[in-house]
Homo-oligomer: A and B are copies of this chain.
Amino acid sequence: MATISEVAERAGVSVKTVSRVMNNYEHISAKTRKKVRLAMDELSYAPSSIARQMRLGDPQSIGMLYGDPGSGYQARLNHAVLKACSDARRYLAVELFEEHDPEWRRQVEAFLDRTKVQNLILVPPMCDSTELHKLLQERGVRTVLISPSRQISGSSSIAMDDRLAAMEMTKYIIGLGHKRIGHIVGHPGHVAALLRRQGFEEALVNAGLEVRQDFVVGAGSFFFKDALACAEKMLTAENRPTAIFASNDEMAAAVIMVANRLGISVPEELSVAGFDNTSISQTMWPELTTVAQPFEAIAREAVRLVSDDVKRDLTVSATRVLPHEILYRGSTGPAPKE
């Protein structure tokens, strides 16, 4: 409601000075600053990001390319970014991005033109498109990548430590007494899937357990449907595993499904663990033990990174790794007695 000039009038200063206070300009006397702050509070003034953006490319504006939230992961992430912006009182311009659309280039350009966004948050899979990065670089748009498969020079990125988390999860399962543990591998094109597998195998090796190759299976995707066959293969094998750690929640849910069908009870006869803490993990019954991606923290950090403080002199691309958490829920339990 309140406009900047009302604040200025109330504080008895010029409009420009109010602007300076807002943007933490250096050369402002403490007294003036306080006066302005007070006036702003009294009028509960919030700057209009619209007007800011108008000033040809407000460096404050944030954009996000929004993929199809078909997967729980996408949905959670999009939501988290939205929330982080909302909390930070930052305006988020959202644009749909359809990978397969041959028009995507035009779409993105139109988006940038319309919104004059200078900062873009890119989530998977958009963050791995070389073409997209080239376009953005040409246009001088700064990007922050969330869990990219590889570094892009000039972009900082934020991720969690998939390998470590997978290791911890596996260690936990081993700690429950399990000896025969299976893993369902995710999409091999995603680095995350590889890292999770690595962490899994590493934990087994560390514990002196054998890595049975017939217990590390994957169907080339992250999908429920494809995981069904993998789970079936493992669970009908001789000396079947007593625990299965899937590369994501959806596939873990498939394991539970198959176990149900085969009359194997979870967690009594089979422990199941997933990864991501997406909605399906609590939809299932028993609820899935899983790795909680720090979605909220990741999003908050992303917003922070595109903010003023962080100078863009980093030609070196920094990666920030955020801590995860393991959620112990009903789908895992002590290994059954032989």
Q: CB within 8 Å of B: which residues of A?
A: 1, 46-51, 53-54, 66, 68-71, 75, 78-79, 82-83, 86, 89, 91-96, 107, 109-110, 113-116, 223-225, 228, 250, 253-254, 256-257, 260-261, 263, 279-280, 282-285
A94 and B96 contacting across the interface, CB-CB below 8 Å: no
B285 and A1 contacting across the interface, CB-CB below 8 Å: no
Pick the residue among B79, B92, B257 that contacts A285 (CB under 8 A).
B257
A50 and B283 contacting across the interface, CB-CB below 8 Å: no
Report B-chain residues with C-beta under 8 Å of the C-beta of A115.
49-50, 91
A50 and B54 contacting across the interface, CB-CB below 8 Å: yes
Most B CB within 10 A of own CB, among A83, A250, A283 = A283
Shortest distance from the beta carbon of A63 to any chain B beta carbon, whole Å: 12
Report B-chain residues with C-beta under 8 Å of the C-beta of A107.
86
Most B CB within 10 A of own CB, among A79, A110, A263 = A79
Report B-chain residues with C-beta under 8 Å of the C-beta of A94.
82, 92, 94
Name the residue of chain B whose CB is nearest to the CB of A284: B224
Copies of this chain, whole number = 2
Name the residue of chain B whose CB is nearest to the CB of A106: B44
With contact pairs A86-B95, A94-B82, A96-B82 given, residues A224 and B54 touching in the complex (Cβ less than 8 Å):
no
18 A-B residue contacts at CB 8 Å? A1-B109, A1-B113, A48-B113, A50-B53, A50-B114, A66-B79, A68-B79, A69-B75, A69-B79, A75-B75, A79-B96, A82-B96, A91-B114, A223-B283, A225-B283, A253-B283, A257-B285, A261-B261
Name the residue of chain B whose CB is nearest to the CB of A51: B54
Shortest distance from the beta carbon of A225 to any chain B beta carbon, whole Å: 6
With contact pairs A54-B51, A283-B225 given, residues A78 and B86 touching in the complex (Cβ less than 8 Å):
no
Report B-chain residues with C-beta under 8 Å of the C-beta of A109.
1
Shortest distance from the beta carbon of A317 to any chain B beta carbon, whole Å: 28
Report B-chain residues with C-beta under 8 Å of the C-beta of A253.
283
Pick the residue among B51, B82, B254, B280 that contacts A66 (CB under 8 A).
B82
B50 and A228 contacting across the interface, CB-CB below 8 Å: no
B78 and A116 contacting across the interface, CB-CB below 8 Å: no
B78 and A250 contacting across the interface, CB-CB below 8 Å: no
B96 and A46 contacting across the interface, CB-CB below 8 Å: no
Shortest distance from the beta carbon of A85 to any chain B beta carbon, whole Å: 8
A27 to B106, CA, bound (A): 32
Pick the residue among B49, B254, B261, B284 that contacts A114 (CB under 8 A).
B49
